[in-house]
Amino acid sequence: MQGCLQRTMIQTKRILTTRLNDRGLTLVELLAVIVIIGILAAIAVPSVMKVIHDMRDKSFVANAWNMKEAADFYIKEATTSGNGASEQITYKELVDNGYMSSFNDPDTDEEIPPSDDSYVTINNNETVAVCMKGEKRNLCTNEGENEAIQYKDLRVSLIVSNKN
Query: Using one digit for the tens of pLDDT, what is the confidence trace for 87-126?
Result: 899 999 999 999 999 999 998 999 999 999 999 999 888 8
Alpha-carbon gap, residue 118 to 133, rounded angstroms: 6
* Burial profile 137-150: b = 16 or more Cβ within 10 angstroms, e = fewer: bbbbbbeeeeebbe
- The CA–CA distances, whole Å, from 130 to 24, 72, 123 equal 65, 12, 12
pLDDT of 145 strictly over 80: no
More confident residue, 47 or 21: 47
Query: CB–CB of 122/128 below 8 Å?
Result: yes
Alpha-carbon gap, residue 161 to 77, rounded angstroms: 35
Query: CB–CB of 44/137 below 8 Å?
Result: no
pLDDT in tens, 12-22: 677 666 554 45
Alpha-carbon gap, residue 116 to 137, rounded angstroms: 16
pLDDT tier, 162 (very low <50, low <70, confident <90, very high otherwise): confident
Alpha-carbon gap, residue 67 to 135, rounded angstroms: 17
> What does the angle CA 158 – CA 125 – CA 82 come to, to the nearest 5 degrees?
150
Q: What is the pLDDT of residue 101?
A: 93
**CB neighbours of 116 closer than 8 A, spacing ≥ 6?**
90, 91, 92
The separation between CA 85 and the C-alpha centre of its own chain, rounded to angstroms, equals 33
DSSP state of 135: S
DSSP state of 83: -
